[in-house]
């Protein structure tokens, strides 16, 4: 009998050893990070380039919400910056709604990214689609979008031969575009995104006096819809200090401000960085 017990115990221990510690949401992700809360998922990579996943299933794809704006920065950020784009967000525009009902007021590219103004990105995205159509034709414009959004589109590219209509789902309002903390982190790490990440950092830190200080973090935060629960949001936060990059997803009921607070708390970012 004791042999069976011993074998069972050994088997259980093997199971314990094999189980990723990340599945315990209460467990501290690492010595230099604070514990996650239930429902949070974190993907993190340090200078060694090894991706670590913690918390709720950090490989599960969810609507990417405001993180879609980072893909737009890659796709059209340089054009928009050179145009010095502006937008006046009143909360509604051409039948579409910003997540902030009262509107963001007048925004430029930096403010639209910092405050995650959906309507500004929608308006500028539509302008870009017109430019692509003129410069590359419908097929060329479609290829640009497929290439940029591919990692988050799966097989959900709207059918057709031309540039799809730039509607709110392309700005992350809906579940057309999906990411997991792991896939978003992989995207941020890809050298193909180097220029876009550099631009994102510059835009997000444009109001900060110490933006060139070593170790300063850029953090992009925003909301995402919750599938099957139209009134609810979840939140995303992605950021980097140049040596550590992390993507945090917060569960249902959390908003943009929660995303920023929790990212800073989990990554134990000192005030001023
Ligand atoms: Zn807005």
Encode pLDDT of 155-206 as tens digits: 999 999 999 999 999 999 999 999 999 999 999 999 999 999 999 999 999 9
Is the pLDDT reported for residue 27 higher than 90?
A: no
Total-model pTM: 0.86
Domain boundary residue among 134, 150, 178? 178
Same domain assignment for residues 74 and 163: yes
Same domain, 55 and 185: yes
Cα-to-centroid distance, 23 and ligand 1 (Å) = 36
> Is the distance from CB of 173 to CB of 118 less than 8 angstroms?
yes
Tell me the two tokens of residue 187. Answer: 């995207």
Q: Are residues 152 and 200 in the same domain?
A: no
Query: Both 252 and 212 in a single domain?
Result: yes
Q: Do residue 174 and residue 193 come from a single domain?
A: no
At residue 54, the pLDDT reads 94
What band does 214 get if pLDDT is binned at 50, 70 and 90? Answer: confident
Ligand 1 centroid – CA 100 distance (Å) = 6
Distance, CA 202 to ligand 1 centroid (Å)?
20
What distance in angstroms lies between residue 57's CA and the mean position of ligand 1's atoms? Answer: 31
User: Can you give the pLDDT at residue 31?
Assistant: 58
Q: How far is the centre of ligand 1, averaged over its atoms, from the C-alpha of 25 (Å)?
A: 33
Q: Coil, strand, or helix at residue 103? A: coil
Same domain, 239 and 105: no
Query: From CA 117, how far away is CA 200, in angstroms rounded?
Result: 15
The answer to whether residues 268 and 248 touch, using CB atoms and an 8 Å cutoff, is: no
Considering 136, 157, 178, which residue would you say is the last residue of a domain? 178
Q: Domain check: are 117 and 168 in the same one?
A: yes
Number of domains in the chain: 2
Is the same domain home to 107 and 206?
no
Place 30 in a pLDDT band, splitting at 50, 70 and 90.
low
Specify whether 53 is located in the same domain as 185: yes
Range of the domain at 209: 22-60+180-273
How far is ligand 1, taken at its centre, from the CA of residue 153, in Å? 24
Tokens of 249: 């997803």
Same domain, 172 and 200: no
**Ion ligand 1 neighbours, Cβ < 5 Å:** 89, 98, 104, 117, 119
Ligand 1 centroid vs 111 CA: distance in angstroms? Answer: 10
Is 148 a residue whose pLDDT tops 50? yes
DSSP state of 238: E
Residues 91 and 32 in one domain: no
**113, 256 contact by CB (below 8 A):** no
Q: How far is the CA of 204 from the centre of ligand 1 (A)?
A: 16
Whether the pLDDT of residue 70 is over 50: the answer is yes
Of 150, 178, 206, the residue that ends a domain is 178
What number is the average pLDDT over the span 22-38? 61
């Amino acid at each position: 009998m004791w042999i069976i017990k011993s074998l069972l115990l050994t088997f259980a221990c093997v199971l314990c050893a094999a189980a990723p510690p990340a599945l315990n949401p209460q467990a501290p992700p690492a010595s230099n990070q604070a514990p996650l809360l239930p429902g949070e998922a974190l993907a993190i990579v340090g200078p060694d380039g090894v991706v670590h996943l913690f918390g709720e299933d950090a490989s599960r794809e969810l609507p990417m919400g405001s993180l879609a704006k980072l893909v737009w920065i890659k796709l059209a950020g340089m054009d928009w910056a050179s145009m010095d784009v502006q937008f006046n967000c009143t909360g509604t525009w051409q039948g579409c709604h910003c997540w902030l009902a009262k509107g963001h007021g007048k925004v430029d590219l930096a403010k639209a990214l910092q405050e995650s103004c959906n309507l500004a990105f929608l308006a500028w995205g539509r302008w870009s689609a017109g430019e692509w159509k003129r410069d590359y034709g419908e097929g060329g414009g479609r290829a640009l979008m497929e290439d940029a959004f591919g990692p988050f589109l799966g097989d959900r590219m709207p059918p057709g031969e031309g540039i799809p209509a730039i509607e709110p789902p392309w700005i992350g309002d809906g579940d057309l575009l999906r990411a997991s903390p792991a896939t978003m982190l992989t995207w941020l790490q890809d050298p193909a995104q180097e220029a876009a990440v550099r631009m994102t950092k510059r835009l997000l830190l444009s109001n900060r006096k110490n933006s060139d200080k070593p170790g300063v973090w850029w953090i992009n935060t925003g909301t995402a819809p919750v599938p099957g629960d139209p009134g609810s949001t979840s939140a995303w936060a992605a950021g980097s200090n140049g040596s550590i990059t992390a993507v945090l997803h917060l569960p249902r009921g959390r908003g943009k401000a929660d995303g920023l607070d929790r990212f800073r708390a989990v990554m134990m970012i000192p005030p001023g960085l």
